[in-house]
């Protein structure tokens, strides 16, 4: 009994029917697929979306207020570690709060970079030898203005209204 080790021949494909290719126009075959329509959400879907947005925004605003309260308590108690910890936290939470509170949101990452730059500008403008309360007030003002400006600058286009 001899066994052949030669590869088997590939099966032959049947030739396409001559009328099938002519039935589809070339322009229709090459046209991209249309964008899928957005699904209309029902009342329950809108409720859970609003609940989610409210919950996330409430947590973010709480972190924003907490970071500034930590920095302010460091100024009042003259605790440099709390002041610096709060100041570092504000670099993250101020742009995030502005991002959540603006209607047409911009890029949060750019806001964080802008907030860090605003903090550096406040330190350079006021100086490290100045009263920490003045430095903290300047930092707050510059961070908020910078974050709102960058959020406005990078805002998204409004969504089209579905009819």
Note the pLDDT tens digit of each residue in 54-68: 999 999 999 999 999
Structure tokens at 148: 């709102």
pTM of this prediction exceeds 0.75: no
Residue 22 pLDDT > 80: no
Q: Of residues 87 and 155, which shows the higher confidence score?
A: 87
- pLDDT value at residue 111: 87
Q: Using CA atoms, how far apart are residues 112 and 163, in angstroms rounded to an integer?
A: 37
Contact 98, 148 (CB under 8 A): yes
Structure tokens at 27: 């322009």
Q: Using CA atoms, how far apart are residues 103 and 155, in angstroms rounded to an integer?
A: 9
Residue 6: pLDDT band with limits 50, 70, 90: low
- pLDDT value at residue 28: 55
pLDDT tens sequence across 106-159: 777 888 999 999 999 999 999 988 899 999 999 999 999 999 898 888 877 776
Q: Of residues 12 and 56, which shows the higher confidence score?
A: 56
- pLDDT value at residue 40: 64
With a pLDDT cut of 90, the percent of the chain lying above it is: 52
- pLDDT value at residue 63: 96
Q: Of residues 35 and 154, which shows the higher confidence score?
A: 154
Residue 31: pLDDT band with limits 50, 70, 90: low
Contact 57, 100 (CB under 8 A): yes
Q: Using CA atoms, how far apart are residues 9 and 145, in angstroms rounded to an integer?
A: 73
Nearest Cα to Cα of residue 102 among 148, 40, 45, 47 = 148
Residue 87: pLDDT band with limits 50, 70, 90: very high
Average per-residue pLDDT for the chain = 83
């Amino acid at each position: 009994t001899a066994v052949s080790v030669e590869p088997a021949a590939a099966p032959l494909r049947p030739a396409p029917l001559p009328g099938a290719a002519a039935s589809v126009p070339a322009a229709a075959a090459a046209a991209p697929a249309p964008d899928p329509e957005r699904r209309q959400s029902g009342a329950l879907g809108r409720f859970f979306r609003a609940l989610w947005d409210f919950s996330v925004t409430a947590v973010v605003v709480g972190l924003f207020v907490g970071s500034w309260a930590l920095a302010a308590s460091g100024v009042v108690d003259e605790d440099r570690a709390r002041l610096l910890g709060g100041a570092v936290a504000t670099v993250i939470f101020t742009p995030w709060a502005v991002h959540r509170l603006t209607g047409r949101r911009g890029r949060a990452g750019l806001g964080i970079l802008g907030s860090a730059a605003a903090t550096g500008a406040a330190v350079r403008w006021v100086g490290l030898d100045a009263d920490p309360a003045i430095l903290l007030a300047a930092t707050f003002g510059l961070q908020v203005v910078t974050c709102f400006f960058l959020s406005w600058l990078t805002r998204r286009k409004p969504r089209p209204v579905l009819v």
